[in-house]
Structure 1
Amino acid sequence: MRTIAVVLGTRPEAIKFAPVIRALKEDPRFDPVVISTGQHRQMLDEALHAFNLKPDIDLGIMAPRQTLSQVTYRAIRGLSEKLGPLGAEAVLVHGDTATTLAGGLSAFHHRIPVVHVEAGLRSGNLHSPFPEEANRRLVGQIADLHLAPTPGNSANLIREGISPHRIVVTGNTVIDALRWASQTANDYGHPALEDLDRDPRRIVLASAHRRESWNNLPEIAHALARIATEPGIRVVTPLHRNPVVREAMLPVIGNHPNITVVDPLPYLPFCRLMQRSDIIVSDSSGSEEEGPALGKPTLVLRDITERPEAVIAGTARLVGRTTEGITAEVIRLLSDAEAYRRMATAANPYGDGKATERSVAALAHFFDEGPAVMPFVPGSAIDQLSAELADLPAYMNV
């Protein structure tokens, strides 16, 4: 049995790694050891709890208002102390966070193979998103196995000189997590949302928190306030706990009669909220994947994205961060039934619910303990997610 270290530290990492961890636990070839940096303390713990998972090792690096350098330093120091005695034969890191970079570097320093899950995403601009674009490019240079969600992600890696033999196109594991959560979620997780199922209004689910959005948060808030004045519209905003976000947005939207502001929701209630929504407006990378998978028109509060597949497919659209731009696009979708229908029925390019299966098989093949993996090929219809909900893998049962 091979010891596999799984390094995570944020809510998105926990959500996207959860089905992989559960599958590794069920596979007799592997012994997964989950190491949490604690980069996002409360939100991380809530996400792990939703999947009935706990870290085996918790570094607890979180501190108030710490800088990126401090986060990265503390994570590298803690991981370096733990990885040596662990005897791991591979280290799995995910995506593009400071934890991802720290996990990849620490494994590299210990000469342990690095497996990069959600590899190959590129915006083309080193400074946007910051620092994520740099983090994933750096990890891409030291990874031994690249698990790319889409063929486009694989092409990015090949253009950068990565051998195709070290890349497997798996689909995105967030779709696997979403399949399970869509069946499991049974409430909205907050008293202010208890009336949602009885509310006849159309729901706009909105959020913003990314570092590159900080200067534009007041404009985003004013856009939400304008949208909420439209007849028959209710805006629901799970507001990030970061003081920068709250201080910029709450004065504008905090007391609006048609805007419901709540704290960040646990993963399962948030999935239910996404299902209930009519439009998603967000700068969150997860929403760019989850919205299209649920057939929800998704307006992305960014100017460029490392996830162009949904934009190309037509189920997501980049709308920037100006008040006028955001407002115009939301109102257009609310008033133009045909435009809404086109976005809601576009193809989901991110997965078929089997990314976890392919990821574990790719890891086994890396160790010469299984056959090569047939890659994920996009093109399935939006309604495939719903069609497959009744056929969940055993490792997703809590």
Structure 2
Amino acid sequence: MSHENSQHIVVVGTKPDIIKQAPIYHELRERGHDVVLCHTGQHYDHNLSQSMLDEFGVREDVNLEVRGGVNDLVSGITAKLALYLRGFAERGGFPITYVHGDTTTAMAGALATFGERQALVHVEAGLRTLSPKPEVLQGWLDQGADLDWASFREQSIDRTSWSKGSREPSPEQFNTRVADAGTDLHAAPVELNREFLIDEGFAPAAIDVVGNSVVDALALAIAGSDKNQVLQKFPQMGDGSFLRFCVHRRENTTNHFRFNLLMDAMESLLEQGHHVLFIRLLGTEAAIDNFGRRQWLEDLEARYGDALISTPVWDSYLDVVAAMAMCAVIVTDSGSIVEEANVLDVPCVTLRFGSDRSETFLAGSNFLAPPIDKALMTAVIHNVFEHRGELSWERVYPEGASRMLVDAVERRLDEGSLLISEEWRYGLKAQLR
């Protein structure tokens, strides 16, 4: 096992993959490694794929062009990627595959490398959801609109308020667990992820805490972004009062109770005088139509005028970052946006029953508004908005994540320990290939 015959296959399939894998791709290339970018085809719309590739200056070397539902994606990506990776080994190379996070692409990529017995680096490993303990959540529900902000905030940053075991977000929690099961190097963003992995029985020596490459991506985006481009389209955002509101998780957009509750909460915020930037993703659009909300949304836009900006998701990540930085609060069911908010110093509210970026709860940059009670949800969001001036936190994710991750890979290549074996587990020297 050496640097000379290793090939680094950076796999992407979704918009977050591209954003977070691009800095790693560039770091590997700058160090002179043999690197290829493999796109699985999971996301293929321009604003979710090609526009991201263009903005981050990366070009796919191969596109597996897998399409279909979840099972089709899993089987298709696994089979096509395994065949592609097999070629590297047959030519005498040592392929190292990099998958990211909790996507279907990451899970299928792990299946492919495991079946070929090739090395896998799981970028953003150990994502596990923490949810409030039942008695804590019940206490918040009992308060509803009369939420005690000081108590709520204190409980939010207290680790003892939270418990493990959630299956949401789904299928993301399934995907990340499967990916970790086949991983040789767990590149964990924070110590909390390392703790989760060790608790599940993964070898401590196979885990490195390397930060989150979203920080590297944001640095590039901030340097290239221009808030004036956003203000030309939406000048009303200049006063910094807008709530960025987005909902796209399957458990929220396929459940009529949750989705209608979320939309009703957004309407309540407008009624209270808040300004809302409503970002509509593919899942959002489908839910709006499936649950008969299209006319409601058009009426809402007419009623609130400039106070409501309702728009499909934007092509430009640079514009997205510029807009997020101008918002007062980010209200979302996304995971990656929670990370970005922490780095951008914008308070965040998570519209779920927990978060797999729970380090942001403990840091005090993110607060939970579970989609179970409209009064509680609007109270959380309103309180975060009202108290945003007094909120401060240490950034959870350090700079230089891509550098630290590639350092961890190179160290293992030098040691001959990238592929996990029983000999390696016992500290015995062995010919691993």
- Looking at structure 2, the residues matched to 201 and 89 of structure 1 have their Cα atoms a distance apart, in angstroms, of 48
* Structure 1 runs not aligned, ≥5 long: 373-398
TM-superposed deviation, 1:60: 1.6
- Looking at structure 1, the residues matched to 416 and 118 of structure 2 have their Cα atoms a distance apart, in angstroms, of 20
TM-superposed deviation, 1:371: 12
- Looking at structure 2, the residues matched to 106 and 201 of structure 1 have their Cα atoms a distance apart, in angstroms, of 46
How many pairs does the alignment contain? 361
1:263 to 2:327 alignment? no
> Partner of 1:362 in structure 2?
408
Counterpart selection for 1:143 from 183, 201, 212: 183
1:94 to 2:141 alignment? no
Q: Give the residue type in structure 2 aligned to 1:39.
A: Q
1:204 to 2:243 alignment? yes
> Partner of 1:286 in structure 2?
336
Judged with a 3 Å threshold, the aligned counterparts in structure 2 of structure 1 residues 22 and 183 are, in CA distance, closer, same or farther, namely same
Judged with a 3 Å threshold, the aligned counterparts in structure 2 of structure 1 residues 187 and 296 are, in CA distance, closer, same or farther, namely closer
Query: Which stretch of the first structure deviates more once superposed, 236-245 or 32-41?
Result: 236-245
Contact 1:93 / 1:115 at 8 angstroms: preserved in 2?
Answer: yes
> Partner of 1:45 in structure 2?
50
Contact 1:148 / 1:167 at 8 angstroms: preserved in 2?
Answer: yes
Judged with a 3 Å threshold, the aligned counterparts in structure 2 of structure 1 residues 22 and 152 are, in CA distance, closer, same or farther, namely same
Contact 1:190 / 1:262 at 8 angstroms: preserved in 2?
Answer: no
Contact 1:209 / 1:245 at 8 angstroms: preserved in 2?
Answer: no
> Partner of 1:73 in structure 2?
75
> Partner of 1:238 in structure 2?
279
Q: Give the residue type in structure 1 aligned to 2:98.
A: L
Contact 2:85 / 2:95 at 8 angstroms: preserved in 1?
Answer: no
> Partner of 2:62 in structure 1?
57
- Looking at structure 2, the residues matched to 83 and 290 of structure 1 have their Cα atoms a distance apart, in angstroms, of 32
TM-superposed deviation, 1:228: 1.8
The correspondence of residues 138-217 of structure 1 with structure 2, limited to 5 A, is: 138-187=178-227, 193-196=233-236, 199-200=238-239, 202-214=241-253, 215=255, 216-217=258-259
Bigger radius of gyration among the two: 2
Query: Which stretch of the first structure deviates more once superposed, 188-197 or 321-330?
Result: 188-197
Contact 2:10 / 2:99 at 8 angstroms: preserved in 1?
Answer: yes
> Helix, strand or coil for the counterpart of 2:239?
coil
TM-superposed deviation, 1:370: 11
TM-superposed deviation, 1:342: 3.6
Counterpart selection for 2:349 from 284, 294, 299: 299
Write out the 4+ residue segments of structure 1 that deviate beyond 6 Å after TM superposition: 188-192, 369-372
1:82 to 2:93 alignment? no
- Looking at structure 2, the residues matched to 268 and 361 of structure 1 have their Cα atoms a distance apart, in angstroms, of 28
Contact 1:10 / 1:40 at 8 angstroms: preserved in 2?
Answer: yes
> Partner of 1:121 in structure 2?
127
- Measured against aligned partners, the alpha-carbon deviations of 1:10-39 in whole angstroms (never above 9, x if no partner) come to 0011111110011111112x1111111111
TM-superposed deviation, 1:203: 0.8
> Partner of 1:276 in structure 2?
326
Contact 2:55 / 2:317 at 8 angstroms: preserved in 1?
Answer: yes
Query: Which stretch of the first structure deviates more once superposed, 324-333 or 177-186?
Result: 324-333
- Looking at structure 2, the residues matched to 129 and 161 of structure 1 have their Cα atoms a distance apart, in angstroms, of 22
Contact 2:280 / 2:310 at 8 angstroms: preserved in 1?
Answer: yes
- Measured against aligned partners, the alpha-carbon deviations of 1:319-349 in whole angstroms (never above 9, x if no partner) come to 1124322211222233x3xx32343x11221
- Measured against aligned partners, the alpha-carbon deviations of 1:173-192 in whole angstroms (never above 9, x if no partner) come to 11111122112112576798
* Structure 2 runs not aligned, ≥5 long: 130-163, 419-433
Q: Give the residue type in structure 1 aligned to 2:297.
A: I
Judged with a 3 Å threshold, the aligned counterparts in structure 2 of structure 1 residues 129 and 151 are, in CA distance, closer, same or farther, namely same
- Looking at structure 1, the residues matched to 327 and 342 of structure 2 have their Cα atoms a distance apart, in angstroms, of 12
TM-superposed deviation, 1:117: 0.7
- TM-score, structure 2 normalization: 0.79
- Looking at structure 2, the residues matched to 151 and 50 of structure 1 have their Cα atoms a distance apart, in angstroms, of 31
- Looking at structure 1, the residues matched to 39 and 66 of structure 2 have their Cα atoms a distance apart, in angstroms, of 9
Judged with a 3 Å threshold, the aligned counterparts in structure 2 of structure 1 residues 32 and 269 are, in CA distance, closer, same or farther, namely same
- Looking at structure 1, the residues matched to 81 and 389 of structure 2 have their Cα atoms a distance apart, in angstroms, of 48
- Looking at structure 1, the residues matched to 278 and 408 of structure 2 have their Cα atoms a distance apart, in angstroms, of 38
Q: Give the residue type in structure 1 aligned to 2:334.
A: S
> Helix, strand or coil for the counterpart of 2:243?
strand
Contact 1:240 / 1:264 at 8 angstroms: preserved in 2?
Answer: yes
- Looking at structure 1, the residues matched to 100 and 228 of structure 2 have their Cα atoms a distance apart, in angstroms, of 28
- Looking at structure 2, the residues matched to 293 and 111 of structure 1 have their Cα atoms a distance apart, in angstroms, of 37
Contact 1:179 / 1:353 at 8 angstroms: preserved in 2?
Answer: no
Query: Which stretch of the first structure deviates more once superposed, 260-269 or 98-107?
Result: 260-269
Query: Which stretch of the first structure deviates more once superposed, 98-107 or 237-246?
Result: 237-246
Counterpart selection for 1:35 from 18, 34, 38: 38
1:15 to 2:66 alignment? no
Contact 2:368 / 2:380 at 8 angstroms: preserved in 1?
Answer: no
